Structure formats: C-alpha cells, structure tokens
Homo-oligomer: A and B are copies of this chain.
Amino acid sequence: MSEIVARLGGKVLGDSETEIFQVATLEKAAPGNIAFLANAKYRKQLADSRASAVIVAESDAGLTGLPRIVAPNPYSYFAKLSALLNPLPAMPPGIHPTAVIDAGAVIAPDAHIGAHVSIGAAACIGAGTVVMAGCVIGERTSVGTQCLLYPNVTIYHDCVIGHQVILHAGVVIGADGFGIAMDEGRWLKIPQIGRVVIGDQVEIGANTTVDRGALDDTVIEEGVKLDNQIQVAHNVRIGAHTAIAGCVGIAGSATIGKYCRIGGSAGILGHLQIADNVEIASFTLIGKSITEAGSYAGVYPFSKNDEWRNNAVHLRHLGELVKRVRAMEKEIELLKGEKI
C-alpha cells in the first residue's frame, strides 16, 4: 500500500505494508484485494468484508479498522488503482500477414494490425494503435496514436479519429446519414459527403453507429463516452466530456453541450440544441431545445398491467377532463354567488 500511495497519492492508515494484488467489491473481496467505499449505503458491507484493505473518504476513515487509503474521491482513486493493477496486455507491433493493407496506407511501425484487417488507400494509423481482427478502415481515414479498435469495427472513408480513442466491437463510423428527398413518388438519395470527426480520449461502445455528415461533418468532441448500441445521426455535434448510456438515438443536426449525461434509450429530435450540463433521464424524448442546465425527464410510470390500462385509457380524454373541471369551477362560483 505504501507503493500505491507513492504512485497515486492519498495516505495510508493502518499497516502500510499490506500487500494488494487486485481490486474488488466489498462484498466479493478476498484476502489480497482492496475494496472501496464511495456510497453510504454500502457501509454495512464494510464490517463483513474480507478485503485486506479499503479506499475511503476522510469522513469514513473511522468506520473500519482495516488498513485503508484515505483519498478525497474514493471512486476515482479506485479507477486509477484498478488501471495500475490491470494494464491492458501489450500487443506486439507489426502487421498480421493476413491483413490487407493498401500500398498507399501509412501504418506506424509500432502499431498492431490484427488478422483479416483491411486498410484502404491513404489511410493512416498512428503510433501505438491496436487494430484487432476483422476491422475495416476506409480510404483516407486517419486514426490517431494509442487508439484501441476491438474486432470487427468498420470505419468508412475520409473520417478522422483522434488519439487514445477506444472503439468496441461492431462499431460503425461514417456510414451514410439518412438523407432522402421525395421526387415523383420515389426517394432520391442525398449523397453524404461530410465526414465523422472524433476527438481525443473518446470511447464508443459495441455496435454503436455514428453517421457521416450530409454536407458538413458529424463531430464528437474530446472525452465523450458513448455506451453500446447508440445511434448518432448525420451532422450531430456532441460536446466534450458528455456521457451517453446505451440505446440512445440522436437525430440529425442535433447539438449537445459539454458535460451532459443522457440516460439509456433516451432520444433527441433533429436540429435541437441542448445546453451544457444537462441531465436527461432514461427513456425520455427531448422534443424541443433545452437552454438551461438541469435534470429533465418524461417517462410513463409503470404499474400492474390492469392498473395501467384503467388509468391510461383516460389519457385520450385528458383535454376534455380539464374542460369539465373548468366548467365545474364556474358552476361552483355561481352556486357560491347565489348563496350571498
């Protein structure tokens, strides 16, 4: 533990020579593990934990006799310690013989290019970047340094991926946006000639799709974190350090601010603007722009099916109900008036 605080800061209370091999939850920790207490509701678990040590805030330092590291933000301390104890396996530099690399592509000598990868003409792969098996990277696309592309990622032509970007398996970057125009009973395709531009330290979850711009670019700023199965339409801009949970759909040309947090399966309609620091609840459709930071929601509360049915049926007459209430209020005023 003394070695840990030497590298990550904080201070040790208790035996600072305790040996730590891995992080764990309070509940599942075994000897040699260090757990963390970041949420008051897990205090009960602290007493029963088999962890050899724990990371706590100053205010919780007295709750346990275990060897402990005291740090202002135990959860982020835990994140850093876990990264220290669980480094990614080093991938050997070089290009797998089954990869198909266009003669005009530029691959950094220490990049790792896995089996059955295809890389198009004039594409560029930066130093230390890992491209796993089955990825396909289009012509003139640039991938920065120290990126990690998991298997079967597809990036279309002419896109720009920053540094230290992580793309999980099945991600598709740069597919055509949904641009169509009705012409004499048929949809004409609008060529999608913009790009996707992704900033540094962005992480994108499995099977998420980010479409290329119609004319201008789709932009994901630095530090954005996207979960799995999200759909980002053409010409969307997502501000720096915004985090979006799984299955969210963002329609074309929406602009989302910085440091927003969007819950799972939420949606944002096209051409809207969302301010910085907006929090959107899961399953909420944002149907007009939000100009003020804060938390927003719009979810139908669930109940037993019968109860739901008995209540929901009246939603189709809510306007009428409001009119009936207004009418009664007038009647009552009249009745009260007659009294006097």
User: Which residues of A does B touch, CB under 8 Å?
Assistant: 22-25, 28, 73, 75-76, 78-80, 82-83, 86, 89, 96, 98, 100, 114-116, 118, 132-134, 136, 139, 150-152, 154, 156, 166, 168-170, 172, 175-176, 178-183, 185-191, 193, 201, 203, 205-207, 209, 211, 215-216, 223, 225, 227-229, 231, 233, 241, 243, 245-247, 249, 251, 264-265, 267, 269, 279-287, 294-319, 321-322, 324-325, 328-329, 331-332, 335-336, 338-339
Contact = CB atoms under 8 A, between A and B. Distances in A.
A340 to B, nearest CB: 11
A54 to B, nearest CB: 14
B172 A176 contact: no
A225 B309 contact: no
> Interface residues of A: mostly helix, strand, loop or mixed?
mixed
A133 B136 contact: yes
Nearest to A242: B187
A89 B140 CA distance: 13
B170 A170 contact: yes
Contacts of A251: 245-246, 264, 282
A88 to B, nearest CB: 8
Question: How many copies are assembled?
Answer: 3
A115 to B, nearest CB: 4
Contacts of A216: 25, 28
A313 B288 CA distance: 14
Given A170-B170, A241-B187, A311-B318, A227 B178 contact: yes
A154 B152 CA distance: 7
B209 A229 contact: yes
Contacts of A96: 100
A209 B211 contact: no
Contacts of A285: 265, 282-283, 299-300, 302
A154 B178 contact: no
A81 to B, nearest CB: 10
Nearest to A222: B186
Contacts of A313: 301, 319
A146 to B, nearest CB: 13
A35 to B, nearest CB: 9
Interface centre among A134, A286, A324 (most CB of B within 10 A): A134
A282 to B, nearest CB: 6
19 contacts: A24-B215, A79-B180, A89-B139, A114-B118, A170-B172, A178-B228, A187-B225, A189-B203, A249-B264, A251-B282, A264-B269, A265-B265, A265-B285, A283-B285, A297-B305, A298-B303, A298-B308, A317-B322, A321-B321
Q: Report the 7 A-B pairs with minimum CB-CB distance, sorted nearest first.
A: A298-B302, A295-B305, A136-B151, A76-B183, A154-B169, A118-B133, A175-B206
Given A79-B180, A307-B316, 7 more contacts: A118-B134, A150-B175, A172-B207, A187-B225, A189-B203, A207-B207, A335-B336
